[in-house]
Amino acid sequence: MTVVEQKLLGLNGDEAVAYAIKQVNPDVVAAYPITPQTIIVERFSEYVADGEVETEFIAVESEHSALSTCIGAEAAGGRAFTCTAANGLALMWEMTYIAASLRLPIVMAVVNRALSAPINIHNDHSDSMGARDSGWIQLYCENSQEAYDTAIQAWRIGEHPEVQLPVMICLDGFILSHTLENVLTLPDEVVREFIGERSFPRVQGHLGEAEFRLDPEHPITMGPLDLYDFYFEHKRPQVEAMKRALPVIEEVGREYGRISGRTYSLLHPYRLEDAEIAVVGLGSTMGTARVVVDRLRSRGVKAGLLRVRAFRPFPAHEILKALSHVEAVGVLDRCASFGALGGPLFMEVRNAFYDSAERPIISDYIYGLGGRDMSMEMLEEVFKSLEEDRRAGRPLELVRYIGLRE
């Protein structure tokens, strides 16, 4: 397969997702508008009104209903998409676990926004981070191009026979959702060919073997009462499916690269090979950090970065390989985990190194809550403190707050 010719469009992050989903042409889209996700719903409903998709668009009365509708549609064998943000995701809470535990490969865009209270519409990762144990795959996007590309790959990842899990595409509210960027888009038929048809695992139902979907001709039961005699055995395969998603995310990212010229993986390192100090983080901040790394490199500082694209499943082994040689690592968390040792990403990264003989100094930097900007100057400050940690041979502070007025 060779890289296909692509059309360059000016799209913001939300429009990029909506455009990708238009090309995917799912059976059902059920969504409730909430800032900063609204543009996805608006654009998509225009595609429906203009007859550009065959999708059944269901305008629901809440996010709980949006995800419930997607669960029903996917259980019936369809492809379903939804999108939300912050309090909308919080209202979906119950259904996020049900979607994942029923093993329904729904695709949902979460346009990351701070949770209330106090009410705030701007970006941080507190919404999707709260859902990190719900059993959804979580992929964090750096720019609008990646949001478009991920909204296509997500179907292949979630629906993979070895995975069968829902996928959350996380993109930073406003920073990506409302910022116009150049986005290369694939031809419709290439997208359709790439995603193919949804396939169904064969299951042993109560009336014999059947496809895993609700079909009156070959009935199965989904979501039965499951008590202490079976529930535990039904949770364990979810753990396994997440592990199997790791190579699938890489495999799909490579295959996508062959047609688009843009290859995706679990982790995206930058100038890390000989780095002495590095930052690890998610989403759009890592684009800013790349410029800062270049700036520091030009001054002779051996700085690097590691962008984590897949937070769930967490690529612990790959992180270990990527960072073992680095002397001081700063984890950037756009989310506070109240009462915990540090932010969610910090806890995962630091934990990954517990059994390793080669352990960098690892500290946490909580930043950007409620949309507080993370400037290049702030990132330089982060690297400066990492350099101090490196010289001291220990983290001078385990958790630091960047851009916070003292």
Partner 1 sequence: MTGQKSAPGWRELPHGAVPYKSSREYKTGDWGVLKPKIDFGRCTKCTLCHFYCPEGAIRMRGDGYPEVDYDFCKGCGICAAECPVKCIEMVRRG
- Rounded to 10 deg, the angle between the 231-260 and 188-195 helix axes is 150
Running DSSP on this structure, what letter comes out for residue 278? Answer: E
Instruction: Candidates 126-134, 229-237, 268-276, 332-340: pick the segment binding partner 1 (CB under 8 A).
Output: 229-237
Shortest distance, position 203 Cβ to partner 1, whole Å: 4
Q: Is there binding between residue 199 and partner 1 (CB under 8 A)?
A: no
Of residues 275 through 294, those in contact with partner 1 by CB under 8 A are none
**Listed residue (192, 159, 190, 151) closest to 20, CA to CA:** 151
Instruction: Tell me: does residue 339 bind partner 1 (CB under 8 A).
Output: no
Contact with partner 1 (CB under 8 A): which of 221, 298, 355, 377? 221
- Binding to partner 1 (CB under 8 A) within 148-167 occurs at 164
CB of 323 to partner 1, least distance (A): 33
Q: How many CB atoms lie within 10 A of CB 113?
A: 31
> Judged by CB under 8 A, which stretch of 26-34, 142-150, 201-209, 343-351 contacts partner 1?
201-209
Distance, in Å, from the CA atom of 133 to the CA atom of 333, rounded to the nearest integer, reads: 17
**Binding of partner 1 at residue 205 (CB under 8 A)?**
yes
Beta bridge partners of 183: 9
Residues 93-152 binding partner 1 (CB under 8 A) are 101-103
Residue 201, interface with partner 1 (CB under 8 A)?
A: yes
Beta-bridged to residue 208, according to DSSP, are 205, 206
CB of 229 to partner 1, least distance (A): 6
According to CB under 8 A, which one of 50, 197, 217, 229 is a site residue for partner 1? Answer: 229
One-letter amino acid at 211 equals: E
Residue of 220, 248, 272, 303 that binds partner 1 (CB under 8 A): 220
Residue 296 has which token pair?
């520091």
**How many angstroms separate the first and last alpha carbons of the chain?**
55
Minimum distance of partner 1 from residue 214's CB (angstroms) = 11
Sign of CA dihedral 149, 239, 97, 105: positive
Asked if 206 touches partner 1 (CB under 8 A), the answer is yes
What is the gyration radius of the CA atoms in the chain, in angstroms? 21
Q: Are 105 and 167 in contact (CB under 8 A)?
A: yes
Token reading at 38? 């609204």
> Taking CB under 8 A as the rule, does residue 230 contact partner 1?
yes
- Contacts to partner 1 by CB under 8 A: 101-103, 164, 201, 203-207, 212, 220-224, 226, 228-230, 232-234, 236-237
